[in-house]
A and B are shown apart, each in its own frame.
Chain A
Amino acid sequence: MTSSDAGASALDPEGRTEGRGSRPPAPGRDGGAPGSPRREVAPGIVQHDVEAINARERRALYVGRKKIHPKRARGTFRTLKWIIMAVTLGIYYALPWLRWDRGPHLPDQAFLIDFANQRLLIFGIEIWAQEFYFVTGILLLAALGLFLVTSIAGRVWCGYTCPQTVWTDLMIAVERFWQGDRNARLRLDKKPWGFEKIWKKGATHLTWLAIAVATGGAFVFYFRDAPILMGEFLDGTAPTIAWVFLGVFSFTTYMLGGIAREQVCIYMCPWPRIQGAMLDRDSLLITYREWRGEPRGPHKKGETWEGRGDCIDCKQCVVVCPMGIDIRDGPQLECIQCALCIDACNEIMERVGRPRGLIAYDTYHNVDAGEDVSQRRVRLIRPRTLLYAGAMALVAVLMLIGLAARTTLEVNVLRDRNPLFVRLSDGGIRNGYTVKILNKRHDTRSFRLSITGLDGARLAALGYEGQAEPRIPVVTDDLRAVRVFVSLPADRVRALGRDVVPLRFVVTDLVDGTRAMRETTFRMPKR
């Protein structure tokens, strides 16, 4: 990780550079000021006057932010990223509006985090608060999936699907729409404030704000019926908390996606620091094939390619980079591996008539192997990937088992602890319990409560006097707590001769005979 020695190079008085990609220091130079001399590095290709934001000679403990003006890239990966952006944003904005019929008693929103009723509704799946371990399982799967993908192909998450990347990409596209591509934006930034600059910048920020509000709005819709809440937003009757979260998420979208951008990835996000542990020599990373590219330099038409590298130092890979870095400096913390430099470089390679893939997904191993083709290999199946995949499979199987075993009727028993037992006047012993019956069906049911496993015991439920096996109605999607007393006559207590015996509560659905059971104990004095 080259940035780890940032501090060291900051104190390096000579501004020395070393290792691959060394260039003479160029302090204070930035992005192709119009009019500055431009160098043609190959027929029809001019070098961009740009430095990586994290270039060695620029590093310091305290650095100001260098504004990045990413150029538009074209190619396979850019197309792929547009598609992924369309799909992920489409899901995000549209999902709350999707309907899913669950019958008359439940909301018909396909994906609803129903805080008021403490449950999570995802299409046909319904997760109650006490079943939150399903969510834990989903998060586990997501984390392990992230590990797996990272060990195979690096920061795919960062480069393609992370919301920060997707929204930043969208915001940059908006910026480009109003202000033009890199060079036009550079010119605009250099200009003094005037009508053109104000309206172009203003339009950009207004569009960003509109996207931000739509994003914050969509987030709130996940927590309340979307059409109802939309109506409430429009006529101003939405609950305060909805407005607050709309505001918070609009603000963060605008700030993080529009303003902060790469700063989030470099300084705020822990993932770049964690991912180092998931990579190994066989992970496919976006790599500058140094063995092919160096020594770099301008190439004139008709010149031989013998004895020199394929890199013509046009810096296309730097200008398209949304992080503002130079991939030729090697793997680095700042690289989100979005693959735009691959597109940029491939386009140039085609134009100068060299093979594509000077920058490509490749492994540390292959970089070390260099030109020695016999040493090249791509191993997707390795102990590390097998371990992550196995862990994912295990979690998935456990969750499926849990989901398959999920019941619509549950009984929980809380035995009284104070007092543990009560001695009755006839010498018998009575224990108290709170029995909670959970009816997860979507209609009201009556349940018969009974006990097994303790001969001679009598059951009485508060409010159901005179019923040896009380019939307890529980309305739909609800929990009913019943105070229950179990008493055992004196002769049975003496006959048992123990201070604790097992006892089982059985709840039977009177309609379809579904049963749920719960083991507990019956306690008596120590003799």
Chain B
Amino acid sequence: MADKPEIDEVTGIETTGHEWDGIKELNKPLPRWWVWTLYATIIWSIGYWIVYPAWPLATDYTKGLLGYSQRQAVADSLRQARAAQAKFVKAIAETDIAAIRSKPELLRFAVAGGRAAFGDNCAPCHGSGAQGAKGYPNLNDDEWLWGGTIEQIYETIRVGIRADHDDTRSNDMPKFGVDELLTPEQISDVAEYVLSLSGKAADAAAAKRGKAIFAEQCTACHGEDGKGNQELGAPNLTDAIWLYGGDKASIVESIRTGRGGVMPSWEKRLSPVVMKQLAVYVHALGGGK
């Protein structure tokens, strides 16, 4: 670079000396503040390499002076959250489940925890709002197959229904049609009677015939008045709530096949505290007894 930089005649600005097809490039450097900012950020980044995890190694990576790890940060946050909850978790573990409701602070904690656990474990069948679906009970209402007190709800969660638990809840409605215990005409008559039980429009003659069959076949579980039996998980047939539908076709289908839903036992999957929270939450949905 012995030569002095060439000065462009027209603009009076020095050129870079690069030439293409007779056109020379003017030397228009980047603004100095910009260049210095770039250098400053490079120097800053060296600081990052030193204090933060930066370089991958063969089997490991440079840890940095601060020893920062996002994974560790998450673990720490979780541990802090658990520590903050510990007081309540302990209290719930020690408090009788029915007594939780009379302690506002515990109740709020249990409902919040129960809502989260419900979303993780129960919502796939019962729905995110616990509104249920055909064959999956609505947990908001005041009709309960196995009882709606907080203890009964806890027990149902614990042992499940037709689940792999020794004490699991189980009812056994015969498949009257499938197993040919009743003829289709008899089933139709019983369905008419069941319709009349809840005050729905029904063929009086058929219902009368059905009543006799009902007394013979159904009262053992559903009771003589059709109000069911929560000990046996037999639904109340006189109210406005139908798990599988309250029209005649649905009732006929229920008598024909016997239905019979399932629910897992949660005892081996959830801790007693979480099951308590779930029971409190479900009870607090509005239908608890």
Residues of A within 8 A of B (CB): 11, 13, 62, 64, 416-419, 422-427, 430, 432, 460, 462-463, 483, 485, 490
* B142 adjacent to A425 (CB under 8 Å): yes
Could you tell me the distance between the alpha carbons of A268 and B286 in the complex, rounded to whole angstroms? Answer: 59
Please judge, given known A-B contacts A418-B128, A422-B141, whether A13 and B10 are in contact too, CB under 8 Å. yes
Determine how close the nearest CB of chain A comes to the CB of B57; give it in whole angstroms.
Answer: 31
Among candidates B28, B107, B141, residue contacting A425 with C-beta atoms closer than 8 Å: B141
Determine how close the nearest CB of chain B comes to the CB of A172; give it in whole angstroms.
Answer: 21
CB-defined contacts of A462 to chain B, threshold 8 Å: 107, 111, 284, 286
CB-defined contacts of A416 to chain B, threshold 8 Å: 129
B232 in the interface (beta carbon within 8 A): no
Q: How would you classify the secondary structure of chain A's contact residues: helix, strand, loop or mixed?
A: loop
B167 in the interface (beta carbon within 8 A): no
* B239 adjacent to A426 (CB under 8 Å): yes
B236 in the interface (beta carbon within 8 A): yes
* B11 adjacent to A422 (CB under 8 Å): no
Could you tell me the distance between the alpha carbons of A13 and B236 in the complex, rounded to whole angstroms? Answer: 99
Q: How large is the interface on B (under 10, 10 to 19, 20 to 34, 35 or more residues)?
A: 20 to 34
CB-defined contacts of B239 to chain A, threshold 8 Å: 425-427
CB-defined contacts of B143 to chain A, threshold 8 Å: 424-425
Among candidates A64, A424, A460, A463, residue contacting B141 with C-beta atoms closer than 8 Å: A424
Please judge, given known A-B contacts A13-B11, A419-B140, whether A425 and B129 are in contact too, CB under 8 Å. no
CB-defined contacts of B284 to chain A, threshold 8 Å: 462, 483
Which chain B residue shows the least CB distance to A60?
B13
Q: Which of B108-132 contact A (CB under 8 A)?
A: 111, 127-131
Q: Please, what's the 1-or-0 string for B147-167, where 1 marks a CB less than 8 Å from any CB in chain A?
A: 000000000000000000000
* A423 adjacent to B240 (CB under 8 Å): yes
Could you tell me the distance between the alpha carbons of A284 and B225 in the complex, rounded to whole angstroms? Answer: 94
* B28 adjacent to A423 (CB under 8 Å): no
Q: List 15 A-B contacts (CB under 8 A).
A: A13-B11, A418-B127, A418-B129, A422-B138, A423-B240, A424-B142, A424-B240, A425-B141, A426-B239, A430-B140, A460-B286, A462-B107, A462-B111, A463-B104, A483-B284
* A463 adjacent to B107 (CB under 8 Å): yes
* A425 adjacent to B240 (CB under 8 Å): yes
Which chain A residue shows the least CB distance to B139?
A422
Determine how close the nearest CB of chain A comes to the CB of B10; give it in whole angstroms.
Answer: 6
Among candidates B12, B101, B104, B141, residue contacting A423 with C-beta atoms closer than 8 Å: B141
Determine how close the nearest CB of chain B comes to the CB of A492; give it in whole angstroms.
Answer: 14
Most buried by A among B10, B128, B129: B129
* B236 adjacent to A425 (CB under 8 Å): yes
Give me the 7 closest cross-chain CB pairs, A-B, nearest first: A418-B129, A425-B239, A419-B131, A427-B240, A422-B140, A425-B143, A485-B286
B287 in the interface (beta carbon within 8 A): yes
Could you tell me the distance between the alpha carbons of A430 and B128 in the complex, rounded to whole angstroms? Answer: 18
CB-defined contacts of B127 to chain A, threshold 8 Å: 418-419
Determine how close the nearest CB of chain B comes to the CB of A102; give it in whole angstroms.
Answer: 28
Given contacts A418-B128, A424-B240, 7 further A-B contacts (CB under 8 A): A13-B12, A418-B127, A419-B131, A422-B141, A423-B141, A425-B236, A463-B101
Among candidates A13, A419, A426, residue contacting B138 with C-beta atoms closer than 8 Å: A419
* B140 adjacent to A490 (CB under 8 Å): no
* A422 adjacent to B240 (CB under 8 Å): no
Which chain B residue shows the least CB distance to A487?
B286
Q: Please, what's the 1-or-0 string for B32-44, where 1 marks a CB less than 8 Å from any CB in chain A?
A: 1000000000000
Which chain B residue shows the least CB distance to A432?
B286
B97 in the interface (beta carbon within 8 A): no
Could you tell me the distance between the alpha carbons of A462 and B110 in the complex, rounded to whole angstroms? Answer: 13
Could you tell me the distance between the alpha carbons of A426 and B28 in the complex, rounded to whole angstroms? Answer: 86
Which chain B residue shows the least CB distance to A263?
B33
Q: Which of B227-241 contact A (CB under 8 A)?
A: 236, 239-241
Could you tell me the distance between the alpha carbons of A460 and B10 in the complex, rounded to whole angstroms? Answer: 89
